[in-house]
C-alpha cells in the first residue's frame, strides 16, 4: 500500500472549487505528520492547466484524468476512474468534498473499493498511527460525533468552508501523471442532455463567506431585491439564499435553498431575514460562524441560534442596514 493521501478535487467550467484548496491544505498538514505524499485526482476535459495550481496548495503529484467523456460530470465515470486508480496504486487515505457532486459519487467509490466512507465531516486530523480523526454533525446538527473508518483504506468527505486554506506557494512544482481513462461512452448509462446555468456572477452558496437569506415573510420573489441590495454592499463573497418555505412559495429557485433538503452552508456571517427557524433550515446553517436574525416575532426559534437578533419588520430593517453599511464603507 502506497504511503499516499489522495484528494479528489472538484472543478467546474475549468475553475477549481474553493473546497479543493481547503482539503489540500489540511491534507498537506496531516501528511507531514506521518511523512506521506499528497496526490490530487483531477478529472475533466482540457483541465491540465489547473494541475500546477494544485501544487501551490500542497499536492506533490496530480493524477490527470482527461477525456471528452468527462466534459460533463458523470457519477458512473468519475466513480469508476477513482476506483480503478485506487486499486492500482493502493493509497492510504482518499479525501473528497462533501458537495452535491461529492455526495453523489463518493459513496459509489467506497462501495467499489469495499471500504467505509465518513461523510460530511467538519473536522479532519490524523494520529501518529495514520488513523484519521474526524468529526461530523448528526441528528440535523444537534450532536457532533467522533467518527472513524475501520478499513485499511480510509475515505472521508469534508464539508466546504470548515477548513482554513494555506497561503499558496507558487514556487512549488507538481508532478503530473496522465492516467488512462478506461471508460467508454457506452459504459455511461446516464447521459447529460442539457445544462441550464443560473447567473454566472453569483457566488456558490456553499463557498460564500456571507449569506443573506429570506423566508416566507419576504411575501414575493420581487422583494428579494432588498436582500440583493444588501448583498451588493457586503462584498464579492456574499450571496442570497432562501428558506424552503420561500422556495416552496415560488419566491426563489431551488438552487438558493438553504437547509436539510437544500444546501448545507458554513459562512462567516449568515443573516436570516423573515425566517422563523424550522429544524430543517437550522440543519443547513447553524454551523455558521456568526448568525444574525431579523424577525417580527420575538419568540421565533431562530433567535435561539442567533448570535445577534433584531426584532422588527425586515422591510424596514434590511434597507436601513444596507444604508448604514454603505456609510461605513464611504467613511473608510
Read off the pLDDT of residues 82-135 as tens digits, 9 standing for 90 and up: 999 999 999 999 999 999 999 999 999 999 999 999 999 999 999 999 999 999
How far is residue 281's CA from residue 244's CA, in Å, rounded to a whole number? 7
β-sheet bridge partners, residue 195? none
How far is residue 127's CA from residue 119's CA, in Å, rounded to a whole number? 19
How far is residue 121's CA from residue 161's CA, in Å, rounded to a whole number? 11
Residue 283: other Cβ atoms inside 10 A:
20
Rounded to 10 degrees, what is the CA torsion of 239, 265, 122, 106? -100
Name the band, by pLDDT with cuts 50, 70 and 90, for residue 251: very high
User: What pLDDT is attached to residue 200?
Assistant: 55
Average pLDDT, the chain: 93
Rounded to two decimals, what is the model's pTM? 0.88
User: What pLDDT is attached to residue 198?
Assistant: 65
Percent of the chain with pLDDT over 90: 82
Domain ranges of the chain: 4-187, 205-331
Domains 4-187 and 205-331 share a fold: yes
User: What pLDDT is attached to residue 298?
Assistant: 96
Query: Is the predicted pLDDT of residue 276 greater than 90, yes or no?
Result: yes
CATH fold of 205-331 reads: Rossmann fold (3.40.50)
Over range 12-36, report the average pLDDT.
95
11: cell is 472543478
Residue 113: other Cβ atoms inside 10 A:
18
* Residue 327 backbone dihedrals phi, psi, to 5 degrees: -60, -45
Q: Where are the alpha helices (DSSP H) in the chain?
A: 18-34, 51-56, 75-89, 100-112, 225-234, 244-248, 279-285, 302-305, 314-331
How far the first Cα of the chain sits from its last, in Å, is 56
CATH fold of 4-187 reads: Rossmann fold (3.40.50)
Over range 162-179, report the average pLDDT.
94
Query: Is the predicted pLDDT of residue 250 greater than 90, yes or no?
Result: yes
Residue predicted with more confidence, 196 or 103: 103
Residue in this structure with the C-alpha cell 431551488, named with its chain if needed: 254
Alpha carbon of 33 to those of 37, 91, 132, 330: distances in Å?
11, 16, 12, 47
How far is residue 325's CA from residue 292's CA, in Å, rounded to a whole number? 15
Model pLDDT for residues 50-74, shown as the tens digit of each residue:
999 999 999 999 999 999 889 889 9
> In the chain, where do the E strands start and end?
4-8, 11-12, 15-16, 37-44, 61-66, 93-97, 117-121, 123-126, 132-138, 143-147, 154-158, 175-178, 210-214, 238-242, 269-273, 291-295, 308-311
Residue 260, CA atoms < 13 Å, CB-side half-sphere = 13
39: cell is 496526490
Which of 263, 268, 266 has its CA nearest to residue 242? 263
Amino acid at each position: 500500500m502506497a504511503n499516499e493521501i489522495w484528494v479528489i478535487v472538484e472543478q467546474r467550467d475549468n475553475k477549481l472549487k474553493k473546497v479543493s484548496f481547503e482539503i489540500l491544505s489540511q491534507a498537506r498538514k496531516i501528511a507531514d505528520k506521518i511523512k506521506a505524499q499528497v496526490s490530487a485526482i483531477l478529472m475533466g476535459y482540457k483541465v491540465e492547466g489547473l494541475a500546477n495550481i494544485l501544487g501551490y496548495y500542497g499536492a506533490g503529484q496530480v493524477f490527470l484524468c482527461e477525456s471528452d467523456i468527462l466534459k460533463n460530470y458523470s457519477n458512473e465515470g468519475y466513480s469508476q476512474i477513482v476506483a480503478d486508480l485506487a486499486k492500482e496504486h493502493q493509497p492510504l487515505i482518499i479525501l473528497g468534498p462533501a458537495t452535491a457532486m461529492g455526495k453523489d459519487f463518493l459513496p459509489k467509490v467506497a462501495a467499489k473499493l469495499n471500504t467505509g466512507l465518513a461523510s460530511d465531516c467538519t473536522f479532519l486530523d490524523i494520529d501518529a498511527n495514520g488513523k484519521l480523526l474526524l468529526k461530523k454533525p448528526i441528528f440535523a446538527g444537534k450532536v457532533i460525533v467522533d467518527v472513524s473508518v475501520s478499513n485499511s483504506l480510509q475515505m472521508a468527505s469534508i464539508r466546504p468552508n470548515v477548513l482554513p486554506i494555506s497561503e499558496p506557494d507558487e514556487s512549488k512544482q507538481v508532478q503530473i501523471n496522465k492516467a488512462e481513462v478506461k471508460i467508454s461512452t457506452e459504459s455511461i448509462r446516464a447521459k447529460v442532455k442539457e445544462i441550464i446555468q443560473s447567473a454566472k456572477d453569483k457566488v456558490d452558496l456553499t463557498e460564500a463567506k456571507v449569506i443573506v437569506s429570506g423566508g416566507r415573510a419576504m411575501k414575493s420573489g420581487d422583494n428579494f431585491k432588498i436582500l440583493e441590495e444588501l448583498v451588493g454592499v457586503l462584498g464579492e463573497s456574499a450571496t442570497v439564499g432562501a428558506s424552503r418555505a420561500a422556495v416552496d412559495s415560488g419566491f426563489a429557485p431551488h438552487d438558493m435553498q438553504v437547509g436539510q433538503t437544500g444546501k448545507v452552508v458554513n459562512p462567516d456571517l449568515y443573516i436570516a431575514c423573515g425566517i422563523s427557524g424550522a429544524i430543517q433550515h437550522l440543519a443547513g446553517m447553524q454551523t455558521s460562524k456568526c448568525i444574525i436574525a431579523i424577525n417580527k416575532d420575538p419568540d421565533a426559534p431562530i433567535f435561539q441560534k442567533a448570535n445577534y437578533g433584531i426584532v422588527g419588520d425586515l422591510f424596514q430593517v434590511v434597507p436601513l442596514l444596507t444604508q448604514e453599511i454603505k456609510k461605513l464603507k464611504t467613511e473608510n
